[in-house]
A and B are shown apart, each in its own frame.
Chain A
């Protein structure tokens, strides 16, 4: 996927920032706003606890770029749901700025916010949040109907997205007649009906069983190749995160402790906490040739791979060839090589310093 390749090179991503959090805080408790304002937006965890407050989101700085899948990963209680609700202003942040295309969301009027949500934001919920009294068609057309679109226009649009998520033939079913996976397809279709630019997915697949979850992840990737939305995706499942993400932010106790591509997290975990998550990851599927390559030493090459190719995609052939593979850039010029030994070390989990030059 093209979107994925661009972001693996830090610093080279020149896509515009769609949504940014600037020192966002959400504190619960009496006088929380004064507390954080007096400290000028700076406080450590001990201060917050000493003031009798609960810090659901603390000092979060994030930039989400147009068209990327940005995943916020954290265990329950880490504040990820609160953070995504701060981004959409479902929860009013206690301090900080949330910028949508450079404009502070927290300063716009209620009417402007409603307008923004009606046309430019979409959200999918963990437990689907379908309206029990409406059938599939009406559920999906609901956001359009409250905008005042007439029946034929909105139903035509609803049928389009029903087609898109593969629910044709179920238009007149009610939510309780559908399986969990189908209900979430309705939820997805409903959030897409308004053609939003930014798409919030709050643990959309957590309530589904593992097989269906996988199917829905594939479905999401399929939709994204067609739609190129800016996606903010919440999950507590690290495997899901590395499967889908362009970039991941890992949260703990309300703070973002590391942001990066799956590969960066696996290769350079910032803390032991992050390392703990990445430990059981199938590294060959995350790490690319670029991370494993070394400078060419003149030996004969058994093949060529792109810098972004995952190790798993060529591990079998490099080991059976027994010769290093050249890593070539877009113009076909070799920029380094990957040795069979380095691949074997990675697969076997042997850590040899220098192997990751």
Chain B
């Protein structure tokens, strides 16, 4: 069996590596102890900092002053559909100026809610229609309608844009392997590891503080999953179907559009679902550069420390996220199951009953809105507000539990956070470059070693070493705690179907929530600071640890477990000697994802007053200092890439050993 085979491998190489690591660690320790005589090896000397930030600023300045015609025309072109969507859903159309302005109303909220019900009914039956319609009704009744529709309008324009761009990029990468290797893959890696904040700065600079720049940032951020889904879907089309299209005499174009892409549709729909969710996440964050909508409400409330209002807007985001996610997932699921034949019918009404009904209701209610204001805007009389309730709850908690929470917070800071932080920030940069390079060499070879060392060195020579290590510390400790919580939960879920049934909907929901939403409740209890950042990050990043662990244990082939039982393993032995070793690569993938998500979240936590690279980006954003922001953003991306590459190399090695 593969498990025993790996144990009986010859020992010497392992022992040699142990020795190498002992020597390396000792060398770094010496470096640390000698820091008085070799200060440049611990803290990168300020006078040798390479002014990458200035170069980037100069470049952006040049682009801004010389290519403004381009950015202006892009803004103008994209502004047209965007304005249309904003007016249609949120703002009303205003035609003409001054006294003779004609106002055409936006879509009535009653109609939109009804359309949401029908959409849910069409793709997922009654349960889904209640959920989706309920979410929209919730948004309306809790007085978040206009903001939510602003957000929805942005998404509805950004998503088709992402889908089309992603589709073409994916097709290109699939057709031309060199393009995939040299252009698309590296670009996708960067796009997904550069923190969301860092996108905003160049957009702000080039396109100004407007919904258009928010939409462009959203489009860039949300496109990668579509590219990946297209590549995956096309490569998964069975080779026989490919052969068939050749034999039927398809031209290259017919083959792609009439055979391959339709066959890949289920995978493409999964990509669409991810695009929608990422777009929602980004539209919320992009409220900082003028997206408006729910994200802006949260931002304003957080800045003013109005927890009640923040919570309300946050819950509206949650409702919108759940509605969009479940709806698009149901569509993807329906696609994956395949088509069912229906009696052919000529009339539109028969073929698309839900669609025609939805359009009819939208038209009628919107027209009614011209005469009855209750249809045009959600009447104040029927809306609720829970803000005072939340405020009261927070007050009650702070009054009654202040001592406990405070004691917990202080203990955490004194005993855990501060020591780790001191250790990280004092870590010699040269030592880190050396040790990570060594790890890269052991796991994969010289190329990985060089990549890892170069990326780490970048963080130091741009003068961001201390802030980098502050990020590493907070991210590391959060990811560690997330794994400490998530992996045992995943293990339990894997061993008990009942427990899994409870856990799955919870982590599904956690996963669709935009990162912003995690901060709000924590900030209410722990105020601003590292503890808040850490707790929010743990809650955000715990999902992949649970999911991958559960999946890893469950995908161990039943035949192997039976073999273990037959050879007389106790359940305990089966678990530790068979299931766990076989699931380990998958679990490590989960850890990898957890680290990447923690990194993304830590950056957003700059809003609650951390002192790391995220704060650097945040400050750059408020000052519109593109060089500073982009370099800090790259440093964050590089931390992510280093962690990702090392973990992937390790997983690949473990996979190869398990066969």
Residue of A115, A129, A131, A135 contacting most chain B CB atoms (<10 Å): A129
Which residues of B322-359 are within 8 A (CB) of A? 337-344
Looking at the complex, which one of B240, B249, B265 makes contact with A143 (CB distance below 8 Å)? Answer: B249
Q: Which of B247, B249, B263, B339 meets A90, CB within 8 Å? A: B247
**Beta-carbon contacts under 8 Å, B579-606 to A:** none
A131 contact from B246, B249, B259, Cβ within 8 A: B259
The reply on B392 being an interface residue by CB < 8 A is no
| Interface contact B340-A174, CB-CB below 8 Å | yes
Q: A142 CA to B248 CA in the complex, in Å? A: 8
- Which residues in B have their C-beta under 8 angstroms from that of A340? none
**Contact call A172/B263, Cβ cutoff below 8 A:** no
B244's nearest neighbour on chain A, judged by CB, is A129
Known: A125-B240, A127-B240. A176 touches B339 (CB 8 A): yes
Measured in the bound complex, the distance between the Cα atoms of B262 and A118 in whole Å is 21
- In the bound complex, residues from chain A placing their C-beta under 8 Å from that of B258 are 142, 146
A273 close to chain B: CB less than 8 A? no
Q: How far is the CB of B38 from chain A (nearest CB, A)?
A: 51
Q: How far is the CA of A123 from the CA of B263 in the complex (A)?
A: 19
B241 touches A (CB below 8 Å): yes
Q: Mark B244-270, 1 if CB is under 8 A from A, else 0.
A: 101111110010001100110100000
Interface residue tally for chain B (C-beta within 8 Å): 25
- Contact (Cβ within 8 A) B241 A129: yes
Residue of B248, B342, B344 near A117 (CB, 8 A) is B248
A133-B263, A172-B341, A176-B339 are contacts. A117–B238 as well, Cβ < 8 Å? no
Tell whether B100 is near chain A: CB-to-CB under 8 Å. no
Residues B240 and A132 in contact, CB atoms below 8 Å apart:
no
Contact yes or no, A114 B249, CB < 8 A: yes
A127 cross-chain contacts in B, Cβ below 8 A:
238, 240
A177-B341 CB under 8 A given contacts A117-B246, A133-B263: yes
Q: Kindly report which residue of chain A lies nearest to residue B339, judged by CB atoms.
A: A174
Cβ of A121 within 8 Å of any chain B Cβ, yes or no, is yes
* Separation of A129 and B243 alpha carbons in the complex (Å): 9
A129-B240, A131-B241, A146-B258 as given contacts; A122 in contact with B341, CB under 8 Å: no
> Given that A133-B263, A135-B339, A177-B340 are contacting pairs, would A123 and B251 also be in contact in the complex, using a CB cutoff of 8 Å?
no
Bound-state CA distance A200–B244 (Å) is 11
A127 vs B341: C-alpha distance when bound (angstroms): 22
Name the A residues within 8 Å of B344 (CB-CB): 172
A146–B302 Cα distance when bound, in Å, is 59
> A130 to B244, alpha carbons, bound, how many Å?
9
Q: B249–A147 contact, CB under 8 A?
A: yes
Please tell me if the beta carbons of B238 and A133 are within 8 angstroms of each other in the complex: no
Counting chain A CB atoms within 10 Å of each CB, the highest count among B248, B250, B262, B340 belongs to B248
Given the known interface contacts A146-B254, A146-B258, A172-B344, the answer about A133 and B248 at a Cβ–Cβ threshold of 8 Å is no
A81 to B259, CA, bound (A): 22
Contacts of A134 in B (CB 8 A): 262
CA distance A131 to B264 in the complex (A): 10
- In the bound assembly, the distance between CA atoms of A119 and B340 in angstroms comes to 31
Question: Would you list which residues of chain A between 130 and 185 have a CB under 8 Å from chain B?
Answer: 131-135, 142-143, 146-147, 172-177
The residue of chain A having its C-beta at the shortest distance from the C-beta of B258 within the complex is A146
Q: Report if A230 contacts B (CB, 8 A).
A: no
Interface centre among A88, A114, A177 (most CB of B within 10 A): A114
Give the nearest-CB partner of B250 in chain A.
A146
B contact residues around A229 at 8 Å (CB) = none
Contacts of A194 in B (CB 8 A): 248
B249 & A146 in contact (Cβ 8 Å cutoff): yes
- Which B residues are CB-close (under 8 A) to A258? none
B248 touching A143 by the CB < 8 A rule? yes
Q: Determine the chain B residues whose CB is within 8 A of the CB of A176 once the complex forms.
A: 337-339
Chain A min CB distance to B331 (Å): 14
A88-B247, A90-B246, A143-B249 known; A172 vs B342 contact (CB < 8 Å):
yes
User: In the complex the two chains form, is A132's CB within 8 Å of B243's CB?
Assistant: no
CB of A301 within 8 A of chain B?
Answer: no
**Given the known A-B contacts A125-B240, A174-B341, are A133 and B247 also in contact in the complex, defined by CB atoms under 8 Å?**
no
Residues A133 and B265 in contact in the complex (CB < 8 Å), given A176-B338, A177-B340? yes
Whether A206 sits at the interface, judged by CB under 8 Å, is no
Instruction: Give the chain B neighbours of A133 by CB distance below 8 A.
Output: 262-263, 265, 339
Query: Which chain B positions have C-beta within 8 A of A177?
Result: 338, 340-341
A85 CB-CB contact with B under 8 Å:
yes
Residues of B contacting A175 in the complex (Cβ-Cβ under 8 angstroms): 338
How long is the Cα–Cα vector from A108 to B243 in the complex, in angstroms? 19
> Closest Cβ of chain B: how far from A345's Cβ, in Å?
46
A135 vs B341: C-alpha distance when bound (angstroms) = 7
Q: Establish whether residues A132 and B249, one from each chain, have CB atoms under 8 Å apart when the complex forms.
A: no
- Quick check: is A126 within 8 A (CB to CB) of the other chain? yes
B259: nearest chain-A partner, CB-CB: A131
A125 near B244: Cβ-Cβ < 8 Å: yes
Cα distance A88–B635 in the bound complex, in angstroms: 54
CA distance A146 to B337 in the complex (A): 26
Q: Are B339 and A114 in contact (CB under 8 A)?
A: no
Measured between beta carbons, the chain B residues less than 8 angstroms from A143 are 248-249
Shortest CB distance B335–A (Å): 9
Q: How far is the CB of A230 from chain B (nearest CB, A)?
A: 15
User: Hey, which chain B residues are within 8 Å of A147, CB to CB?
Assistant: 249
CA of A62 to CA of B262 in the docked complex: distance in angstroms?
Answer: 38
Least CB distance from A343 to B in Å reads 45
Q: How far is the CB of B336 from chain A (nearest CB, A)?
A: 10
Chain A residues with CB below 8 A from B265, complex form: 133
**CB-defined contacts of B240 to chain A, threshold 8 Å:** 125-129
**What is the chain B residue whose CB lies nearest that of A121?**
B247
**Closest residue of B by beta carbon distance from A89:** B246
A90 vs B243: C-alpha distance when bound (angstroms):
7
Docked CA distance A127–B246 (Å):
16
Q: How far is the CA of A172 from the CA of B265 in the complex (A)?
A: 20
Q: What's the Cα separation between A200 and B248 when bound, in Å?
A: 12
A129 to B246, CA, bound (A): 12
Given known pairs A133-B339, A176-B338, the reply for A117 and B249 (CB within 8 Å) is yes
List B contacts of A114 (CB < 8 A): 249-251
Please, which residue of chain B has its CB at the minimum distance from the CB of A145? B258
Q: Give the complex CA separation of A230 and B254 in angstroms.
A: 28
Chain A residues in the interface with B (C-beta under 8 A)? 85, 88, 90, 114-119, 121-123, 125-129, 131-135, 142-143, 146-147, 172-177, 191, 194, 200
B binding-site residues for A, Cβ under 8 Å: 238, 240-241, 243-244, 246-251, 254, 258-259, 262-263, 265, 337-344
* Interface CB pairs A-B, < 8 A, 17: A90-B243, A90-B246, A114-B249, A116-B249, A117-B248, A119-B249, A129-B238, A129-B241, A129-B243, A131-B259, A132-B339, A133-B263, A143-B249, A146-B251, A174-B339, A175-B338, A176-B338
List the 7 shortest-distance A-B pairs measured between CB atoms, nearest first: A118-B249, A129-B240, A176-B338, A117-B249, A174-B339, A143-B248, A129-B244
Beyond A132-B263, A133-B265, A174-B339, 18 additional contacts (C-beta under 8 Å) are: A90-B243, A90-B247, A116-B249, A117-B246, A121-B247, A125-B243, A129-B241, A132-B339, A135-B339, A135-B341, A142-B248, A146-B249, A146-B250, A146-B254, A146-B258, A147-B249, A174-B341, A191-B247
